[in-house]
Amino acid sequence: MDHPLQFDADDPVLHRLRSIALALPEAVETVTFGRPWFRAGRVFAVYGSATKGPEKTQHPRAVIVHVDDDERPARLQDPRFFVPGYFGPKGWLGIDLDPPDTDWAEVAELLDAGHRFAAPPRLRRTVERDGR
């Protein structure tokens, strides 16, 4: 089943996110379920999301990433973060990227951590060895 695109290819926020994500070792972008997914072996980030439930909220300019369990409670205290549908129960959180408030250094750190979580062991060892 083909899914309609749920993003604007000319979105400057996506371009900025893409430049950070694709700079990570062996990162690639695919369009899955109509959204840009970033992978390094497994998925480490998805652009755009929504929450589940009766008060479903769309977050078209957000990125979702896996967050370490010890960081999750503090992140959830920050109103920029949300629990995405489907990925949320697996430890993922979303952060809205609405300019001009976006802290791109923080986004880069989140992408790096997600990349390390998703990378296969061979790639993880290479990244740690090279200090990337």
pTM of the complete model: 0.91
Residue 3 located in a structural domain: no
Residue 5 located in a structural domain: no
Residue 132 located in a structural domain: no
DSSP states along 5-70: --S-TT-HHHHHHHHHHTTSTT-EEEEETTEEEEEESEEEEEEEEE--STT--EEEEEEEEE--TT
Looking at the structure of the chain, the number of domains it has is 1
Residue 131 located in a structural domain: no
pLDDT at residue 132, rounded to an integer: 59
Residue 85 located in a structural domain: yes
Residue 6 located in a structural domain: no
Range of the domain at 57: 12-122
Q: Provide the CATH number for the domain around residue 42.
A: 3.90.1150.30
Task: Note down pLDDT in tens along the chain; length 132 residues.
Answer: 678 888 888 999 999 999 999 999 999 999 999 999 999 989 999 999 999 888 889 999 999 999 999 999 999 999 999 999 999 999 999 999 987 889 999 999 999 999 999 988 888 777 676 665
Local structure of 85: helix, strand or coil = coil
pLDDT at residue 90, rounded to an integer: 94
